[in-house]
Each structure stands twice: as C-alpha cells, then as structure tokens.
Amino acid sequence: MTYVILDLEWNGAYCDKLGGYFNEIIEIGAVRLSEDKRIEERFDAYIRPVVSCKLTRLVTNLTGITDDQVRHGVSFGQAMEDLHRFIGEDAVVMTWSNTDLTVLMENCRYFYHNERIPFLSSYVDLQSYAQTRLGLGTAQQVALGKLAELLQLNSEEMELHHAIDDSVLAAAIFQRVFEPLSFSKAVLSVGDEFYRRLTFKPTFIREIDDPLIRRSDLRFSCECCKRNLKRIGEWQFQHRFFTAAFRCAACDAEYIGRVQAKKKYDGVEIKKRLIRKTTEKTKETGGMI
Ligand SMILES: [Zn+2]
C-alpha cells in the first residue's frame, strides 16, 4: 500500500455562470509515501484559472501565489490527469480535513459535470486521524501549522499555505502519528455512501413534534431535588433552540429549559441546557450570604 497526501490552494471568486461564489483550484501539491512511509515523490502543479483570472488579495497574501504563476499553469483537466497518474490505482489518499475534498468535488462538478473525484478509491481525513491519535478529540479542528508546532516539527523553512510544503508538513505529522490498526480502521472506501456523507448538510430541527426528537429529550430534572420538572409554558423556537419555562413544585424553583436538535448524517444530536431563574427571594438570600 502507498499513501498520497494532497493539498490544494484555491481562489474564491464570483462566477456569473453559477450565479454564486466558486472556489477555483489554482495549485495542487502532493507527496507519495512508500509502504514504510518515506516520501518517494512530490507533485506540484499550478492551474490556470478560467473563472476568475485575477487572484484575490486574500489568496495572494495567504499563499504567495501570483497572477503570473498561475497564468503559466496547466488546465484543471491536465492537472487532474497528471495527478491521477501520480497517485496510481491503490493508494490511500489523505487531506488535512475534508474541506479540500469538497472543493475538489466543486471543481469536478464545474469542469466535468460530475462531482465524483476520478482518482479517489480509499480516503483518510488526516486531520481527524491525527487529532484522534493525539487525544485532542475532533470537536475543534486544529490547523496544520498548529499541530506541527505541538509535535515540535520544524516548519520554519517551509512556506505554509503553499500546497507542496503543506503536503510535506502533513506527511511529517502522518509519519509521527501512524499506527497500523487504528489507521486501517480510519480508511474509508469511496463509494455512494462516502459521497452521501460528505455532501450531507446538517440542519436544525424546527418543529417540536418532529418524530426525531424523543420525548425524554424534552424532560429536565430539578438541580436541587432531582425530581422531574413540570413544564409551565409552551415551547418556543428561536436561535436554533427550543425554549420553555419549567417549575419544580417541591422546591418552588423556576427554570428555563433549552433543547437543540441537530440532524446529522448518523442521527440527531441533542444539546440541552437548564438555567435557573433568579427570583427576588433567591437574590435577597444571595445578597445576605
Ligand atoms: Zn426541586
């Protein structure tokens, strides 16, 4: 098995044809690693943009890529063919977070009218894998440069946000965190299910009666006596949350209960919060103590 780590730079520009913003890929960098995880070969290509020939100042400042460099680049189709040849047929492809993949799909959709990525058969989100391996969790995404710093990998001589250097740095992280069993579990086989998951857009449920919300998700218990709270007002939906007033008869305490239900690919994620209402009485007591 070989490994390919891919990194893209793109230019965000308004596209008349699409009637919206389009992230046009302007550079593809990649490294191929051998079975024993040594860098075997590098790939670097500038792509001549056709949607917007002018790079935004943000992109030029961030990547150091100039209009002149991309003007002498190859076409997107050419770069993809060369990259496919570079990757071969049985490599595991990795990117730092799946954002690069979604941008690649966006470009395939625009240029090929098909969002499937031609050379992708096995994939690992290296950011997520590395964060899991280092016990950082995946709730917050850690930037490539930041993670390299944490691992005390020397990135000083590299230009961050330059596709090829980012791939080399990601490869150094990969070499450090790789472990055969966990890695084999992280490899995703690319098929219909993979694309459905990747393109799934999470939404917030807005109807309290939605069958995806369990009744138990809407119950709260008193912070003091642990008894079930009685809801004393209607559920209101605002700012992605359902909110209702609750009361504990035993403690004479009032609360605001908040529930958020986010529909994700694998199911519904529920977030709950209970806030105790400050009454005049407790304020007084608080003041005396
Ligand atoms: Zn109570």
Give me the average pLDDT of each 10-residue run along the chain (289 residues): 94 85 94 94 93 83 83 94 94 94 94 92 95 88 85 71 87 94 96 92 94 95 95 94 96 96 94 87 45
Other C-beta atoms lying within 10 Å of the C-beta of residue 174? 21
Query: Ligand 1 center to residue 281 CA distance, Å?
Result: 16
Query: Ligand 1 center to residue 227 CA distance, Å?
Result: 6
Query: Ligand 1 center to residue 239 CA distance, Å?
Result: 28
Query: Ligand 1 center to residue 221 CA distance, Å?
Result: 8
Query: Ligand 1 center to residue 215 CA distance, Å?
Result: 20
Query: Ligand 1 center to residue 196 CA distance, Å?
Result: 46
Give residue 147's pLDDT.
Answer: 87
Query: Ligand 1 center to residue 284 CA distance, Å?
Result: 19
Give residue 57's pLDDT.
Answer: 85
Query: Ligand 1 center to residue 144 CA distance, Å?
Result: 48
Query: Ligand 1 center to residue 139 CA distance, Å?
Result: 33
Whether the model pTM is above 0.85: no
Query: Ligand 1 center to residue 116 CA distance, Å?
Result: 56
Give residue 285's pLDDT.
Answer: 47
Query: Ligand 1 center to residue 220 CA distance, Å?
Result: 11
Interior/surface letters 41-66, b for 16+ CB within 10 angstroms, e for the rest: eebebbbbbebeeebeeebeeebebe
Query: Ligand 1 center to residue 271 CA distance, Å?
Result: 22
Query: Ligand 1 center to residue 229 CA distance, Å?
Result: 8
Query: Ligand 1 center to residue 274 CA distance, Å?
Result: 13
Domains defined for the chain, CATH in brackets? 3-199 (3.30.420.10), 203-288 (3.10.450)
Query: Ligand 1 center to residue 214 CA distance, Å?
Result: 23
Query: Rounded distance, CA 173 to CA 126, Å?
Result: 9
DSSP state of 217: G
Query: Ligand 1 center to residue 35 CA distance, Å?
Result: 61
Query: Rounded distance, CA 63 to CA 166, Å?
Result: 11
Give residue 51's pLDDT.
Answer: 85
Query: Ligand 1 center to residue 276 CA distance, Å?
Result: 11
What residues have CB less than 8 Å from 94, skipping those under 6 apart?
A: 3, 4, 5, 6, 123, 124, 125, 126, 129, 170, 174
Query: Ligand 1 center to residue 211 CA distance, Å?
Result: 29
